[in-house]
């Protein structure tokens, strides 16, 4: 369900990444071969772009003032369709903040906050460009590139603000055939609106194409190899780049890793299990506080009270002081939002207290941050891009409502609190107008330089076992573990994690495989 959304702080940026899976894909868990490279793609073996792509690789970036602090902005051209590089083009939005010194400049460090759908430019200007460790900012130009379909790069557009308000309130735990039809219609309408408003770009927003774009940007920036920090979905983008261009891999950090070998159904189910781990950790903390809206009896009792609260909001939404009320869907989203960072737990306790007392405004505000809804009622394109990329990258998780019915029990086993909601949320790609071009497969990236994969043991959105799996798949992968809560680890308060990654980025020395930090 996640994808995420806020970029006003590192925590909010990471929350957006949670969208990764929600409602996306399906297919077999069996590892399938990677899809063949499309025509016009550069050859990893030769290291040179095809003649048809040469004009893109020969670009020079023309920087201009962004009007935001010390950041510069530019656009880089890429083909809309890599199979037809002489056809239509798109403009990729790029921003950077130059290395501050002292010390010799090491090149460009590209960053991606996840999603899919998270704005790398927004993340750079709101956090990474000023919040990354000073030694790294001193030696690298920090660069954000909005992936195709996202924010400023040929954005996917779907619903209007009022339509999104309606969509986010649809009951995602249908209790009757009539409610199932309403949910199914909502997904059909969402997909139809995306096709109507963005039909030209929808077939061309896959992660493979975004990775190829990243190589064009690398060349335009004048870097021989890619240095990159990707969080959450950004790890899949980085691993895909390594798969396509192993000889061009410089220093890659994949933080909060996804497992590319899993089907959409299993990705969603395992992410659901991750959110259960996170809510149990929240409940364990809550019952120790002076005031806990879920009670102080025990963790199981607190979780039962939360489930009861969700059922009550399903039957009778809570007023919020505006036309929108807090029903079960928005209440669940608000709680999930706070799972991305334990620093948000006090805010969640207060929001739950108010909602249980009849004021749903604070929990609604958390849900709005997840969806990137602005005070004027408009929405960023996060959720639109999230669906578009996910539905292209993997076949649908479910063939229809009957298939969801058959899977609900396994989702509820993974998470008694969130399982039913997240099972039905995974129905969205079933109605997508553009067939998936990707398939689940292992990524080995043979020949790549050492790649650091970071996993957090109680990560809600990207379960720790995904990091273990990806590090094991990559021929040069090394696993760095953070024993803690929250989504991703770099720059979130662990000196051990930050030192290990900084050393890798600055000196090229990867941490020992299996290193653990707390």
Q: What are the pLDDT digits (tens) for 107-157?
A: 999 999 999 999 999 999 999 999 999 999 999 999 999 999 999 999 999
Residue 151 is encoded by which pair of tokens?
């924010």
Query: Which of 35-44, 307-316, 374-383, 489-498 has the lowest average pLDDT?
Result: 35-44
- DSSP secondary-structure letter at 229? E
Per-residue pLDDT at 511 exceeds 90: yes
With CA atoms as reference, report the closest residue to 233 among 336, 122, 124, 147. Answer: 147
Residue 116: asked if its preceding bond is cis (omega within 30°), the reply is: yes
Per-residue pLDDT at 51 exceeds 70: yes
Per cent of the chain over pLDDT 70 is: 91
Per-residue pLDDT at 37 exceeds 80: no
- The H or E element spanning position 162 is helix 161-168
Contact indicator for 339, 279 with CB cutoff of 8 Å: yes
- At residue 191 the predicted structure's pLDDT band, cuts being 50, 70 and 90, is very high
Scan for tokens 């398939």, then name that residue. Answer: 439
The pLDDT value recorded for residue 47 is 59
Biggest CA pair distance of the chain: 68
Q: Tell me, yes or no, if 459 is annotated catalytic.
A: yes
Per-residue pLDDT at 403 exceeds 90: yes
Mean pLDDT of 56-66: 96
Dihedrals phi, psi of 482, to nearest 5 degrees: -110, 120
Q: How many other β-carbons are positioned within 10 Å of the β-carbon of residue 402?
A: 10
- At residue 268 the predicted structure's pLDDT band, cuts being 50, 70 and 90, is very high
* One-character DSSP codes across 376-410: TS-B-SHHHHHHHHHHHHS-BS-SSHHHHHHHHHH
- DSSP, collapsed to helix, strand or coil, labels residue 250 as strand
Please measure the distance between the N-terminal and C-terminal CA atoms of the chain and give it in whole angstroms: 28
Contact indicator for 331, 355 with CB cutoff of 8 Å: yes
Q: Which residues pair with 286 in a beta bridge?
A: none
- DSSP secondary-structure letter at 321? S
How far, in whole angstroms, is CA 412 from its chain's centroid? Answer: 23
Per-residue pLDDT at 364 exceeds 80: yes
Mean pLDDT of 334-359: 97
Per-residue pLDDT at 11 exceeds 60: no
The pLDDT value recorded for residue 176 is 96
- As a whole number of angstroms, the distance between CA 41 and CA 83 comes to 8
Q: What are the pLDDT digits (tens) for 445-502?
A: 999 999 999 999 999 999 999 999 999 999 999 999 999 999 999 999 999 999 999 9
Query: Which of 3-7, 227-231, 372-376, 513-517 has the lowest average pLDDT?
Result: 3-7
- The H or E element spanning position 471 is helix 464-473
- As a whole number of angstroms, the distance between CA 255 and CA 233 comes to 9
Residue 506 is encoded by which pair of tokens?
């600055």
Q: What are the pLDDT digits (tens) for 282-341?
A: 999 999 999 999 999 999 999 999 999 999 999 999 999 999 999 999 999 999 999 999
- At residue 371 the predicted structure's pLDDT band, cuts being 50, 70 and 90, is very high
Per-residue pLDDT at 234 exceeds 90: yes
The pLDDT value recorded for residue 20 is 52
- As a whole number of angstroms, the distance between CA 474 and CA 478 comes to 8
Instruction: Check 120, 232, 369, 469 and give the catalytic one.
Output: 232
Mean pLDDT of 221-231: 98
328-337 and 299-315 helices cross at what angle (nearest 10)? 140
With CA atoms as reference, report the closest residue to 318 among 353, 282, 271. Answer: 353
- Give the chain's mean pLDDT: 92
Q: How many other β-carbons are positioned within 10 Å of the β-carbon of residue 102?
A: 7
Per-residue pLDDT at 41 exceeds 70: no
The pLDDT value recorded for residue 7 is 24
With CA atoms as reference, report the closest residue to 422 among 397, 440, 447, 443. Answer: 397
- As a whole number of angstroms, the distance between CA 20 and CA 279 comes to 18
Instruction: Check 459, 469, 494, 498 and give the catalytic one.
Output: 459
The pLDDT value recorded for residue 49 is 84
Mean pLDDT of 59-86: 96
Contact indicator for 332, 313 with CB cutoff of 8 Å: no
The pLDDT value recorded for residue 3 is 30
- As a whole number of angstroms, the distance between CA 254 and CA 479 comes to 10
Q: Tell me, yes or no, if 62 is annotated catalytic.
A: no
* One-character DSSP codes across 64-119: EE-SSTT-EEEEEEEES-TT-TTS-EEEEEEEEE----SS---EEEEEE--TTT--
Query: Which of 36-40, 81-85, 202-206 has the lowest average pLDDT?
Result: 36-40
The pLDDT value recorded for residue 149 is 98
- As a whole number of angstroms, the distance between CA 466 and CA 484 comes to 16
Q: What are the pLDDT digits (tens) for 248-260?
A: 999 999 999 999 9
Mean pLDDT of 163-189: 97
Q: How many other β-carbons are positioned within 10 Å of the β-carbon of residue 100?
A: 15
Residue 407 is encoded by which pair of tokens?
């899977």
Q: What are the pLDDT digits (tens) for 113-124?
A: 999 999 999 999
- As a whole number of angstroms, the distance between CA 213 and CA 308 comes to 47
Q: How many Cα atoms occupy the beta-carbon half-sphere of 465 within 13 Å?
A: 9
């Amino acid at each position: 369900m996640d994808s995420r959304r806020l970029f006003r702080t590192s925590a909010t940026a990471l929350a957006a990444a949670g969208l990764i899976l929600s409602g996306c894909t399906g297919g077999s868990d069996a590892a399938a071969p990677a899809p063949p490279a499309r025509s016009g793609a550069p050859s990893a073996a030769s290291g040179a772009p095809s003649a048809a792509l040469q004009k893109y690789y020969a670009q020079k970036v023309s920087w201009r003032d962004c009007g935001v602090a010390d950041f510069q902005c530019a656009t880089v051209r890429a083909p809309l369709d890599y199979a037809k590089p002489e056809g239509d083009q798109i403009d990729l939005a790029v921003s950077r903040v130059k290395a501050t010194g002292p010390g010799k400049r090491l090149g460009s460090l590209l960053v991606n906050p996840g999603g899919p759908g998270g704005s790398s430019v927004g993340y750079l200007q709101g956090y990474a460009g000023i919040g990354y460790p000073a030694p790294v900012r001193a030696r690298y130009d920090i660069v954000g590139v909005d992936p195709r379909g996202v924010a400023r790069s040929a954005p996917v557009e779907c619903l209007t603000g009022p339509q999104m308000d309606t969509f986010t309130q649809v009951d995602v735990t249908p209790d009757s055939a009539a409610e199932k039809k309403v949910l199914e219609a909502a997904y059909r309408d969402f997909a139809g609106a995306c096709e109507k408003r963005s039909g030209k770009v929808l077939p061309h927003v896959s992660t493979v194409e975004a990775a190829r774009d990243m190589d064009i940007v690398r060349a335009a920036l004048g870097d021989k190899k890619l240095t990159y920090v990707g969080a959450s979905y950004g790890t899949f983008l980085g691993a895909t780049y390594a798969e396509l261009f192993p000889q061009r891999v410089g220093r890659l950090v994949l933080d909060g890793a996804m497992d590319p070998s899993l089907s959409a159904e299993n990705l969603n189910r395992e992410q659901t299990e991750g959110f259960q781990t996170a809510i149990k950790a929240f409940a364990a903390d809550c019952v120790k506080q002076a005031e806990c809206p879920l009670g102080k009896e025990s963790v199981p009792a607190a979780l039962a009270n939360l489930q009861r609260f969700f059922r009550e909001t399903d039957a009778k939404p809570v007023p919020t002081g505006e036309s929108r009320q807090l029903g079960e869907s928005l209440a669940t989203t608000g709680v999930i939002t706070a799972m991305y960072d334990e620093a948000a737990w006090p805010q969640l306790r207060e929001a739950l207290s108010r909602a249980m007392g009849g004021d749903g405004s604070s929990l609604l505000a958390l849900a709005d941050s997840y969806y990137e809804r602005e005070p004027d009622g408009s929405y960023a394109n996060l959720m639109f891009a999230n669906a578009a990329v996910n539905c292209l990258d993997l076949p649908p998780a479910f063939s229809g409502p009957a298939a969801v019915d058959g899977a609900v029990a396994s989702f509820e086993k993974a998470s008694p609190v969130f399982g039913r909601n997240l099972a039905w949320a995974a129905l969205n790609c079933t109605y997508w107008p553009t067939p998936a071009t990707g398939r689940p497969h292992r990524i080995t990236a043979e020949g790549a330089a050492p790649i650091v994969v970071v996993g957090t043991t109680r990560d809600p959105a990207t379960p720790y076992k995904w990091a273990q799996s990806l590090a094991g798949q990559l021929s040069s992968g090394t696993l760095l573990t953070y024993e803690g809560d929250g989504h991703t680890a770099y720059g979130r308060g662990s000196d051990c994690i930050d030192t290990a990654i900084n050393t890798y980025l600055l000196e090229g020395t990867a941490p020992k495989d299996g290193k653990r930090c707390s």
